């Protein structure tokens, strides 16, 4: 069984400061890892993904994430936070086995609040 | 390119009734997945369809079912509604049949069971 943990329900960051949203995962074999963002009353928007290769992946809106296999982590980062980054962030994992039929397993989500 | 379209956006149903939700994927996408989002359980996988075949199903009772049509549009049905079925139901489509492609989500259907 696969699982995702987002240990912080909420992260507060001052505008202009760097931000980190933490994610750890558990999966049999190698993972496909994703970050999504959800704004109020909206669906999820794709930010970035790790499939293979370079451990640092860059995504939309200046976000990036670092894959760490030994720590089974995939933390989301941004060098300088904007108030408009305030939203609910989800980390998700899917095993590389299963041929794509397995659904994404999501973490509980982390509320990111950027203070002006 | 139009995104994933879910209809209706909001539904209010009475306990015991059934409901059908619709999802139109991004043009060219053959994989459609459904998720249930609730404050208590978060996002949970319901099922995934690819080329009209259900390839996987999450841990939900048989009251939850779905199908996919030849044009990749998908419907999900919930029979004998319970109060606990109140949730945001999200549909997602992806271009490939493999797990390395990202899913694009619709805005969801907010189902309220009273």
What chain A residue is nearest to B47 in terms of C-alpha separation?
A: A103
The C-alpha torsion from A101 through A107 and A108 to A114, rounded to 10°, is -130
Give the pLDDT confidence score for residue B85 in this predicted structure: 98
| Lowest-confidence region among A18-22, A86-90, B12-16, B91-95 | B91-95
Those residues with Cβ within 8 angstroms of residue A100's Cβ, 6 or more apart along the chain or in another chain: A94, B31, B50, B55, B96, B97, B98, B99, B100, B101
To the nearest whole percent, how much of chain B has pLDDT over 70?
A: 96
pLDDT of res. B97: 62
pLDDT value, residue B9: 96
Of the listed ranges A88-102, B19-33, B100-114, the one predicted with least confidence = A88-102
B103 chain-A contacts, CB cut-off 8 A: 34, 46, 104
**Contacting residues of A for B53, CB less than 8 Å apart:** none
Mean pLDDT of A83-102: 83
Contact (CB<8Å) A109/B42: yes
Q: Which of A69-83, A90-104, B88-102 has the highest mean pLDDT?
A: A69-83
Q: What is the mean pLDDT of residues A4-33?
A: 95
A98: chain B residues, CB-CB within 8 Å: 56, 99
Tell me, what's the pLDDT at B49?
Answer: 92
* H helices present in chain A, as ranges: none
Query: What does the alpha-carbon distance between residue B100 and residue A84 come to, in Å, rounded to a whole number?
Result: 28
Query: Between chains, do B45 and A36 touch, taking CB under 8 Å as contact?
Result: no
The single residue listed with the structure tokens 């004998």 is B80
Across chain B, mean pLDDT equals 93
CA distance B2 to A97: 31
Instruction: Tell me the mean pLDDT in the region B30-52.
Output: 93
- In this predicted structure, the answer to whether residue A9 has a pLDDT above a threshold of 60 is yes
The alpha carbon of B73 is separated from its chain's Cα centroid by a whole number of angstroms, namely: 11
Q: Do B99 and A106 touch (CB under 8 A)?
A: no
Asked whether the CA dihedral B77, B79, B82, B83 is positive or negative, the reply is positive
In this predicted model, what pLDDT tens digit does every residue of A33-74 receive, in sequence order?
999 999 987 789 999 999 988 999 999 999 999 999 999 999
> In A, which residues are within 8 Å of B4 by CB distance?
43
Judging contacts by C-beta atoms under 8 Å, the chain A residues touching residue B92 are 44
Q: Kindly state the percentage of chain A with pLDDT values over 70.
A: 95
Looking at residue B95, its pLDDT comes to 84
Q: Which residues of A touch B104 (CB under 8 A)?
A: 46
B34: distance to nearest CA of chain A, Å? 9
The alpha carbon of residue A93 is apart from the nearest alpha carbon of chain B, in Å, by 10
Give the pLDDT confidence score for residue A104 in this predicted structure. 87
Segment A109-116 mean pLDDT: 96
pLDDT tens digits, B5-33? 999 999 999 999 999 999 999 999 999 99
Residue B61 pLDDT more than 90?
yes
Return the pLDDT at B100.
Answer: 77
CB pair distance less than 8 Å for B100 and A108: no
Angle ∠(B36,B112,B21) on CA atoms, nearest 5: 55
Residues 26-85 of chain B with CB under 8 A from chain A are 31, 33, 35, 42-48, 50, 55-56, 58
B100 contacts A102? CB cut-off 8 A? no
């Amino acid at each position: 069984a696969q699982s995702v943990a987002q240990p912080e329900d909420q992260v507060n960051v001052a505008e202009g400061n760097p931000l980190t949203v933490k994610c750890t995962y558990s999966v049999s074999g190698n993972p496909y890892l994703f970050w999504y963002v959800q704004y109020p009353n909206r669906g999820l928007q794709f930010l970035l993904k790790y499939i293979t290769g370079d451990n640092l992946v860059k995504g939309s809106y200046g976000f990036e994430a670092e894959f760490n296999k030994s720590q089974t982590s995939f933390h989301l980062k941004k060098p300088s936070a904007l108030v408009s980054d305030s939203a609910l962030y989800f980390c998700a994992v899917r095993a590389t086995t299963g041929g794509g039929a397995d659904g994404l397993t999501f973490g509980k989500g982390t509320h990111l609040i950027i203070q002006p | 390119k139009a995104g994933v379209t879910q209809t209706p956006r909001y539904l209010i149903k009475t306990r015991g009734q059934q409901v059908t939700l619709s999802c139109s994927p991004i043009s060219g996408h053959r994989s459609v997945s459904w998720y249930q989002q609730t404050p208590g359980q978060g996002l949970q996988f319901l099922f995934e369809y690819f080329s009209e075949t259900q390839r996987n199903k999450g841990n939900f009772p048989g009251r939850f079912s779905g199908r996919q049509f030849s044009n990749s549009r998908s419907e999900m049905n919930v029979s004998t509604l319970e109060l606990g079925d109140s949730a945001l139901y999200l549909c997602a489509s992806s271009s490939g049949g493999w797990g390395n492609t990202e899913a694009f989500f619709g805005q969801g259907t907010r189902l309220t069971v009273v």
